[in-house]
Amino acid sequence: MPRAKFHRVYFVRRILAHGRVALVAKEVLSVVEFFPRLLPRQLDEAGAVRLQRIMEGMGFSFRLGARTREVTGGEGVRGVRLESGETLSAGMVIISAGVRSNLEMAEAMRLDHDRGIKVEERMMTSRLEIYAAGDVAEFKGMTYGIWPAAMEQGWVAGANMGGGDLRYEGTTMAKTLKVAGIDLASAGNIDAEDKLESRVVTDENSYKKIVIENDRIAGCIMLGDTKDFSRITKMMSEKQDVSQIKDQVLSG
């Protein structure tokens, strides 16, 4: 589609994660987000405000804590009406609202399920002869929806179905994204409520945070500068004791 046609585009909810699309029409994009801050699973409040400011400087506008009621128009899109009553005109609407498992088969087979098919640590469902793994599986209340978790769960399920005895312990959520050209990586517990000990380093173009629990790094956020992400996630997975270097971790 020619660039001139992107007069006004509205992103609904988490399309921000798909930065490549956002780049195409960055001067004319408006984002409608259900949550009161951007990328709630990847960013805490301070990081989200930082991202929002950077993107506003690029020409984006935001409606946060907003619910979409309907997309208006006939043959073509005319706009988006919000529950607040506000109507935004739009030539194109892109919706990104996450994934939800199709649980029809689980229901027909009477497998325990909630958001996904419930599995225990061997990835067995509520029926002894049936295992589940990947996006459809719910482990300890969590449906991961990411490839590394599907791989780890599939490995455990396959081994156990073949007579082995492996246990799944959960997957550390780690995401690397490009949001409108801005690098963002986060992993583990980002402590969005600021309840844990943390260290933050920030400048005009970046926001970096590590979360510390029991002298170990429990999670991190790297916005605008992700070069230390693999070093820090390695420290996380090795459960390195950082009690003596808490203030130096982010400065390399």
Ligand X SMILES: Cc1cc2nc3c(=O)[nH]c(=O)nc-3n(C[C@H](O)[C@H](O)[C@H](O)COP(=O)(O)OP(=O)(O)OC[C@H]3O[C@@H](n4cnc5c(N)ncnc54)[C@H](O)[C@@H]3O)c2cc1C
Residue ranges that bind ligand X, judged by CB under 6 A: 134-136, 145-148, 150
Chain position whose Cβ is nearest to ligand X: 134
Closer residue to ligand X, CB minimum distance, 49 or 130: 130
Q: Which is nearer to ligand X, 19 or 145 (CB)?
A: 145
Residue 83 beta carbon to ligand X: minimum distance, rounded to whole angstroms: 27
What minimum distance in Å lies between the beta carbon of 73 and ligand X?
25
- Coil, helix or strand at residue 115: coil
Q: How far apart are CA 16 and CA 51, in angstroms?
A: 11
Nearer to ligand X, 97 or 245 (CB): 97
Contacts within 8 Å (CB) and 24+ apart, 34-38: 34/65, 34/66, 34/67, 35/64, 35/65, 36/64, 36/65, 37/64, 38/62, 38/64
Residues 6+ apart with CB under 8 A from 196: 189, 211, 212, 213, 218
Check if the beta carbon of residue 81 is closer than 8 Å to that of residue 69.
Answer: yes
CB of 147 to ligand X, least distance (A): 3
Taken in order 52, 56, 58, 59, the sign of the CA dihedral is positive
Phi-psi sector, 46: left (phi>0), alpha (psi -120 to 50), beta:
alpha
- Which residues are registered as beta bridge partners of 211? 198, 219
Nearer to ligand X, 178 or 246 (CB): 178
Select 148 or 181, whichever has its Cβ closest to ligand X.
148
